[in-house]
Amino acid sequence: MPEVLLRHDWTRAEIAALFALPFNDLLYRAHTVHAAHHDANAVQISTLLSIKTGGCPEDCAYCPQAQRYHTGVAAQKLLEVDEVVAQAKAAKAAGASRFCMGAAWRGPKDRDIPKVAAIVRAVKALGLETCATLGLLGEGHAQALKGAGLDYYNHNLDTAPEYYGEVIHTREFDDRLDTLEQIREAGLKTCCGGIIGMGETREQRAGLLQALANLPEHPQSVPINQLVPVPGTPLEHAEKLDPFEFVRTIAVARIVMPKSIVRLSAGRRQMDDAVQALCFFAGAGSIFAGDKLLTTDNPDVAHDRALFARLDLHPLIPAGMTDTGHADLYTGETCCNGSCSCGAAA
């Protein structure tokens, strides 16, 4: 297949037309794009840890960590470096190549950055890719995190610009764009996606993907989350999304951002294996592994290992990650640095 032109001028009508394609035609087109730019049988494995839980002053309608909602999530302080390192070592042993760290802040204060930077340095020293999601960044924060060895910064757009005010009132859509600009200027890779199933229309799902695809640079990682309705949040009774609509969203994301890694993110616990398989075919090339995503449940590693085996999938090991010690999620055996199915370079 010829090289696909990376576009940043997608119209809403063009993306809506992709959503409207017959299901099989859409999946065929998406898989063709996926196979042209990625190993279609490889899946990048990340693990997400909450390094500072609860007590967030924001009012995101989906989030159990907002202090104004009664969800049973207790506020906790920032974890110590050794606590995070222990979790990162366990994640690596379970097959993760990227370790993502989330803090329930509107944004870190200046005094928080050196503490987070120390955590990043310690995790990076384990040979893992590092990612952080800390909220809105202040002056110099992105540069300091980059200097500590941070590879990715996650900052989702969440939903379409016109639907944003239905979900969040304590920050503006443009605030998110400003933080993404700081991330790019600092030379960090961007992890940026959204949440599907919050009551938005298909037109608004197209709007989210339009906003992502028309950023100055496509995010290197695009997490597509399915809403996990949490009791106590305003969206606890949100209508369940048709699983095929979620697959369509993965497929359209793959087409409009062909070189990005699209991550099948939150909500996998509610998906059966067949739906996940369709998502992988449609272009999902990454998952979060581990039994928790911040505060919500996720399939355990044993289930993912069995699913990978059934689908003939293997973990994607990033270029340059040649050290031993990570596990091969596909076989469950410790990597032998080049001669196992994990694909690590010798």
Instruction: Report the catalytic residues.
Output: 56, 60, 63, 100, 131, 191, 263
- Strand 152-154 to 292-293 pairing: unpaired
Contact 160, 207 (CB under 8 A): yes
How many of the other CB atoms lie within 10 Å of CB of 199? 15
Separation of first and last alpha carbons in the chain:
30
The residue with tokens 């730019």 is 37
Element counts in the chain: helices (H) and strands (E) = 11, 12
Q: Give the E-state strand segments of the chain in sequence order.
A: 42-52, 98-103, 129-133, 152-154, 189-191, 194-196, 221-226, 261-264, 284-288, 292-293, 296-297, 314-316
The C-alpha atoms of residue 265 and residue 296 are separated, in whole angstroms, by 12
C-alpha 218/C-alpha 62 separation (Å) is 25
